Amino acid sequence: MAAARVGLTSHALHASSSFTLVRRLPLLNPRYPPRILPTYPRSSPYVSAAPARPRPRRLRAMSQPAGNPYAAELAAAKKAVALAARLCQSVQQDILQSGVQSKPDKSPVTVADYGSQILVSLVLKMEAPPSDSFSLVAEEDSEELRKDGAEEILESITELVNETIVDDGSYSIFFSKEGILTAIDDGKSEGGPSGQHWVLDPIDGTKGFLRGDQYAIALALIDEGKVVLGVLACPNLPLGSIGNLNGSSSGDQVGALFSATIGCGAEVESLQGSPPQKISVCSIDNPVNASFFESYEAAHSMQDLTSSIAEKLGVQAPPVRIDSQAKYGALARGDGAIYLRFPHKGYREKIWDHAAGSIVVTEAGGVVTDASGNDLDFSKGRFLDLDTGIIATNKQLMPSLLKAVQEAIKEKNQAASPL
Ligand SMILES: Nc1ncnc2c1ncn2[C@@H]1O[C@H](COP(=O)(O)O)[C@@H](OP(=O)(O)O)[C@H]1O
Ligand SMILES: [Mg+2]
Ligand SMILES: [Mg+2]
Ligand SMILES: [Mg+2]
């Protein structure tokens, strides 16, 4: 299909073997050639020579609660997801169907997923306290981008990332295409029970992102096997409550940044910058007054099981179905009372889909467990080994929720294999 170039942003329609690139991204703005950043080795594939230029607006200084042992990591994490969110918003705003690949597991990945991962890795390397080894467990890798036919999408990612860095002005790094591939593969760590590991879902809810709905940039820090810090950038989540309004509310500022550090509580602030507000889960103690969140995608959670659980609990309100870990953020600030997630048989949950969201909820006073009431264990590498599914709610409702979950699972299993 021929490319149609329109001004600075060209809309190219190309088909190739492993993906369809429908839209190229804004070309790098020639007005702001980046300048060398002293801390990156000259030999790094990231850096190329360029004249210095005036320092434009930096991303806002991230706030950090006093007495927080992970204050520096929290500030770095907030800056990282805020920069990544800018990249994602610039793509989603005029997304037709961005350069979309489908991975071997058939799930979608876009130029924004890759770009977000690269920027988070860059900011963490530049801002987080130096540690003897940088370990990032992230969802995406460069395999599909190294295949024949991926040149165009790689070019788009490179332009998108360099454009975002130049616009932000915090760093003068100019990624080469090889540097882009290397940076994506920074996320190959297997994590594990010892040491510190960053855990990143560069876009959680890619399907929601492609639909123009909810998505989140989810970043957590695991220290000696425990999640100690989590941030969730939710660019499309209203700053006000989404309550039972089926996932949206009118008139509110949009763009929420949730954050939590172990023992320091959970907060929310606007993605554009505002004083952080402490948040807490709702105090509903009668399930009749409760509402519950679940995946928008029926493929991601057994809706027959979740509705049976809700019925046993006596929940009257219909489920609020939204994409991504934005559900954890909404629960943590009390927009709803319960989150239910029961993947279909055979699916293994990844740690990046839950690490950040779970600490935001627990530090907001909530409880997050598997169907047997066990805490989630993030120390076992890239996957969560858990019983059946994930439930999250406040302390008051957890006992009756667990009971309803176990009864509903028992009934479902009996119906599936009658004696
Ligand atoms: N069959 C499945 N069951 C459960 N989760 C799935 C799934 N297929 C994909 N997912 C995960 O569900 C995540 C989105 O969560 P939600 O359903 O709450 O929106 C996806 O994250 P990505 O969008 O980062 O790939 C993906 O990892
Ligand atoms: Mg994915
Ligand atoms: Mg995800
Ligand atoms: Mg993802």
> How much is the ipTM here?
0.99
The angle at the Cα of 309, spanning 306 to 313, to the nearest 5 degrees, equals 140
Q: Which of 297, 302, 342, 384 to mutate to test the pocket of ligand 1 (most atoms within 8 A of CB)?
A: 297
- 206 has catalytic annotation: yes
DSSP string, 72-135: HHHHHHHHHHHHHHHHHHHHHHT-SS-SEEE-TTS-EEEHHHHHHHHHHHHHHHHHSPP-SS--
Model confidence pLDDT, tens digit, residues 16-53:
333 333 333 333 333 333 333 333 444 455 554 333 34
Average pLDDT over residues 377-395: 97
331 backbone dihedrals φ, ψ, rounded to 5°: -65, -45
- 387 has catalytic annotation: no
* CA 120 to ligand 4 centroid distance, Å: 13
pLDDT for position 251: 58
> Active site residue: 110, 164, 206, 393, which one?
206
Any ligand 1 atom below 6 A from CB of 206: yes
Model confidence pLDDT, tens digit, residues 118-130:
999 999 999 999 8
The CB density around residue 28, as the number of other CB atoms within 10 Å, is 19
Distance of CA 361 to the CA centre of its chain: 15
Contacts of 26 (CB under 8 A, 6+ apart): 8, 9, 90, 159, 160, 163
Nearest to 215 by CA among 223, 224, 206: 206
pLDDT for position 131: 82
Residue of the CA atom closest to atom 9 of ligand 1: 300
Considering the entire predicted model, what is its pTM?
0.85
Q: In angstroms, rounded to a whole number, what is the distance separating the alpha carbons of residues 60 and 70? A: 19
pLDDT for position 3: 34
- Ligand nearest 213 Cα, by number? 1
More confident position, 120 or 13? 120
